[in-house]
Amino acid sequence: MTPTILFVPGLWEGPTPFERVISLLKSQGYPAEITELVSTGTTSPGNPSMLDDIAAIRLAVQKLVEEEEKDVILVVHSVAGMLGPCAIEGLGSKARSDAGLKGGVRKMVFLAAAVTPEGFTHTPLPFFKYDGGAMYCKDPEPLLFNDFDAVATEKWVKVLKSQPAAGWDDTVTYSGWREVPSVFLVCEKDAVLTEAMQLGFAQLAGSQVFRCAAGHMVQISMPEKVVEVVKAAAEEN
């Protein structure tokens, strides 16, 4: 059975930057969809928290795995590298098979992602910029779009959304990569997570490593490479 590819975006993104990758996968016969971070686009106070984001990811995975008994490839970008694995406790293919159940998260794909162990607490980062109840990337042009031309940079900067200023300082309680095999696409020109950091994350998760010369927003700048890596993960049992 062809697995369903489920994408989880990082901070500020929303689903739009993944549209090309999802379209390419669908055109090649792979069911693909995306779940949003419910906190993206909101401001404090009264906003969804990091834990709400994790819960929303879990609900999306549960729908595919528990209700529809599908195999899933979970593709996580940037900060979703710590959220996605935290959301899948008990939903991995092996755990479900051992319990006599069908479906499950068969593999994870990390795209320039931050991988964290249990007990890691997320704190504000140097490239965060606060404006009242909103939080943005301080310098998106050199940090997120350093491998884009001026026209593309201007277009994609406008797509970015706010994250809430409060509610994201919380702790990872589960690291699904300990039980679910993974691959990691290292983006060598990433100005947010350096190549060395990404290699460290991949080593922590025990991931098979792929490489490319993209910056942080690889799903926009090199969608074909992302599709290649995702397909390789999906085709391995």
- E strand segments, the chain: 4-8, 32-34, 71-77, 104-111, 128-131, 134-137, 163-164, 182-187, 208-212
Q: What percent of the chain has pLDDT over 90?
A: 99
pLDDT, tens only, 89-119: 999 999 999 999 999 999 999 999 999 999 9
pLDDT, tens only, 167-211: 999 999 999 999 999 999 999 999 999 999 999 999 999 999 999
What residues are paired with 129 via a beta bridge? 136
Across the range 232-237, mean pLDDT stands at 88
pLDDT (0 to 100) of residue 1? 82
pLDDT (0 to 100) of residue 141? 97
pLDDT (0 to 100) of residue 174? 97
The tokens for 121 are 């607490």
pLDDT-based confidence at 237, cuts 50/70/90? low
**Structural domains of the chain ordered from first start:** 4-235 (3.40.50.1820)
pLDDT, tens only, 28-67: 999 999 999 999 999 999 999 999 999 999 999 999 999 9
pTM for the model: 0.97
Strand pairing report for 104-111 and 128-131: unpaired
Q: What percent of the chain has pLDDT over 70?
A: 100
pLDDT, tens only, 145-168: 999 999 999 999 999 999 999 999
What is the average pLDDT value for the chain, to the nearest integer? 97
Separation between Cα atoms, residue 106 and residue 91, nearest integer Å = 9
